[in-house]
Structure 1
Amino acid sequence: MGSAISLRTDFDGARLRLLARQAKDANQARRLLALASIYDGGSRSDAARLGSVTLQIVRDWVVRFNARGPDGLINGKAPGKSSLLNDTQRAALAQAIERGPTPYLDGVVRWRLCDLGQWLWEEFRVSVSEQTLGRELRSMGYRKLSARPRHHAQEADAAETFKKNFPAAVAEIAEGPARGRVIEIWFQDEARIGQKNKITRRWARRGTRPSAPHDQRTRSAYIFGAICPKQGKAAALVMPWCDTHAMNQHLIEISRNVADEAHAILIMDQAGWHMSNNLLVPENITILPLPPKSPELNPVENIWQFMRDNWLSNRVFKSYEDIVDHCCHAWRTLLDQPWKIMPIGRRKWAYGF
Structure 2
Amino acid sequence: MTRTTPTRRILLAAAAATVLALGLTACGSDGTGGMGGMDHAASPSATATATGSAAGHDMAGMSHGPDGGMSGMDGMSGMPGTSGAAADGLAAEQGGYRLDGTLSGGEYRFTVTGPDGKALTSYRPEQTKEMHFYAIRSDLSGFRHLHPVMSPDGTWTAPLTDLQPGDWRMYASFVPGAGSGAGTGLVLSRTAAVPGQAAPVPLPAAAASTTADGYTVTVAGAPKAGAAGELTVTVSKDGQPVTDLQPYLETYAHLTAFHAGDQAFAHLHPEAKAAEGTGGGPTLAFHAELPKAGDWRLFLQFQTGGTLHTAALTLNVAA
TM-score range, shorter chain: under 0.3
**Structure of greater relative contact order (alpha carbons < 8 Å, 6+ residues apart):** 2
Q: TM-score, normalised by structure 1?
A: 0.25
Q: TM-score, normalised by structure 2?
A: 0.27
Q: Which structure has greater helix proportion?
A: 1
Q: Rg: which structure is higher?
A: 1
Q: Which structure has greater strand proportion?
A: 2
